[in-house]
Amino acid sequence: MELVKQYPHFLFIEEATESVQDSQGNWTECTQLRKFISMCREESDGKGTEYQVAGGEYIKATSVIQLPITCPKVDKGTKVIVANDHDCNDIRIAGICLNFDPAQLHSRLWV
């Protein structure tokens, strides 16, 4: 009998390095880095909860990500990636964090 994992997926955030000017005045391009944040469980958001984003637009959440209470806070607007593997090769979903709720027993993030 196989045990069920509470958090079988991997949550990453994408961070961009700053562009800087070299000694000749040329700008270097920023690079996107993926940073592992926490184990998680991605589920579809059957309610279709809507969140207001910049510009007054409303976006429907397609997924809710269940997280352990130890997961660090993810700011709204952060690009997040949920993958099936630690190398982030098998991506389940990628999108923008619409909301993060640190509750008493677990945290939730909506994409």
- The string of pLDDT tens digits covering residues 68-110 is 999 999 999 999 999 999 999 999 999 999 999 999 899 999 9
How much is the CA Rg of the chain, to the nearest whole Å? 16
Q: Which carries the bigger pLDDT value, residue 30 or residue 42?
A: 42
Q: Report the sign of the C-alpha dihedral through residues 22, 35, 93, 61, in that order.
A: negative
Q: Tell me which DSSP letter residue 22 carries.
A: -
Domain ranges of the chain: 9-110
The CA-to-CA distance between both ends of the chain, in Å, stands at 33
Average pLDDT estimate for 32-39: 93
Percent of the chain with pLDDT over 70: 98
CB neighbours (10 Å) of residue 31? 10
**Closest to 78 (Cα-Cα) out of 23, 11, 31:** 11
C-alpha to C-alpha distances, 105 to 18, 64, 69, 70, 108, nearest whole angstrom: 36, 16, 6, 10, 10
β partners of residue 110: 64, 99
2 pLDDT above the threshold of 80: no
- Centroid of chain to Cα 65: 9
Residue 49 pLDDT: 77
pLDDT band, very low/low/confident/very high, at 1 (cuts 50, 70, 90): low
Q: What is the pTM of this model?
A: 0.82
